[in-house]
Amino acid sequence: MSTFQAPKGTYDLTPPSSATFLAVREAISAPLRDSGYGYIETPGFENVELFARGVGESTDIVTKEMYTLTTKGGDQLALRPEGTASVLRAALEANLHKAGNLPVKLWYSGSYYRYERPQAGRYRHFSQVGAEAIGTEDPVLDAELIILADQAYRSLGLRQFRILLNSLGDKECRPVYREALQTFLRDLDLDEETRRRIEINPLRVLDDKRADVQKQLTDAPKLRDYLCDACKAYHEEVRALITAAGVVFEDDEKLVRGLDYYTRTTFEFVHDGLGSQSAVGGGGRYDGLSEMIGGPELPSVGWALGVDRTVLALEAEGVELDLPATTSVYAVPLGEEARRVLFGVVTELRRAGIAADFAFGGRGLKGAMKSANRSGARYTLVAGERDLAEGVVQLKDMESGEQTAVPLTEAAAELAKRLG
């Protein structure tokens, strides 16, 4: 009989490696929680139209990569391919922007789905931690988010990532640039699909990774030459603020990001140890997205960092996270009476906040001690009939190998003292 396997392009997180993913999520979200961002969770699927309007009908995400389904009631739904549109929809629906305290600062963590060709660092199901600051146009906010992401990566021990920064202009200056770019692109030798993209979203052509396309783009008009004074001033302030905070970045005028909703500030975090899938995260300002999905004018900025990509970046740098052992105390009972008594001690330890586990299944001493070793526990409690008759348990320090008899009634208190 064949067993089921995870669908192609997906993965399961299992111990012990899942502990690294949890630690990465924790490290990315910690600076956000300390900076006024509240947690938000949205459904794994949304109305198709939300992404078609928000992410953009011409993007690869919507045209090729979105998982869509029709419900029994005839509704068109899509598994979420990204987080921003869902979070903004939820914030608008809950009227968070009317509570009087802008920006609305939110962070989230979850799984996202795109139908892509699976390869290292690119999955059909992937995990992200994201942050959105909704309802305020302020370069300090853009800088804050870039600094917090930098802080999160550094707290994990990552050093070899780079921050790429650009400005995409706004609704005043971008249309002028778009027209100049379209005029330039129409004269190039490009395939039919790329030609279609020129008419719908020409900036995406700049993002084309093919060498023959990039070669033709050498003399393409530069967006920076078309930025209006307001966008230039805004971008300079973002640059000055993150520089003052000691965050190193590179200006990248070809950085456009893959979603239609970005305006002004755009940024990407890349790690050169990941090969072709070098982006570990990214984001930017999306001042028009609220109106695109039927809401009021709410200038906003945000980012999403890939948990799987970050784990790969840690591996590429050889960074091993200092993960605490999942178990501090492991109880090994020898005999029926000892099982009952030691399970009582384990329950007491757990109530006191000490991570404790138990040799289930009535195994012998040798097998149970092997399990104790594998658990990573610092201490083992062993008790047999003779120990219980004397009212003691054997407390073994798994690092030094030293074993001492401790009164049964004092075992929990002694372990609490030793474990601090």
Residues 230-245 have pLDDT tens digits of: 999 999 999 999 999 9
The pLDDT assigned to 60 comes to 67
CA distance 215 to 209: 10
DSSP 62: I
Residues 34-67 have pLDDT tens digits of: 999 999 999 999 999 898 887 776 566 676 788 9
**Distant-in-sequence, close-in-space partners of 272: CB < 8 Å, separation ≥ 6:** 160, 162, 278
Asked whether 60 and 199 are in contact (CB, 8 A), the reply is no
> Tell me, what amino acid is at 144?
E
Residues 2-18 have pLDDT tens digits of: 689 999 989 899 988 99
% pLDDT > 90, the chain: 68
Residues 360-390 have pLDDT tens digits of: 998 889 999 999 999 999 999 999 999 999 9
Q: Domains plus CATH for the chain?
A: 18-173+227-317 (3.30.930.10), 329-418 (3.40.50.800)
Question: What's the average model confidence in pLDDT over 400-407?
Answer: 94
The pLDDT assigned to 257 comes to 66
Q: How confident is the model at residue 157 (pLDDT cuts 50, 70, 90)?
A: very high
Measured between alpha carbons, how far is residue 177 from residues 213, 224, 227 in Å?
Answer: 19, 9, 8
Question: What's the average model confidence in pLDDT over 191-208?
Answer: 82
**Of 137, 124, 92, 145, nearest to 283 (Cα)?**
145
pTM for the model? 0.89
CA distance 202 to 256: 10
Residues 316-335 have pLDDT tens digits of: 999 999 998 889 999 999 99
CA distance 267 to 154: 17
Mean pLDDT, the chain, as a whole number?
91
Question: What's the average model confidence in pLDDT over 198-223?
Answer: 84
Helices (H) and strands (E) in the chain, counts: 16, 16
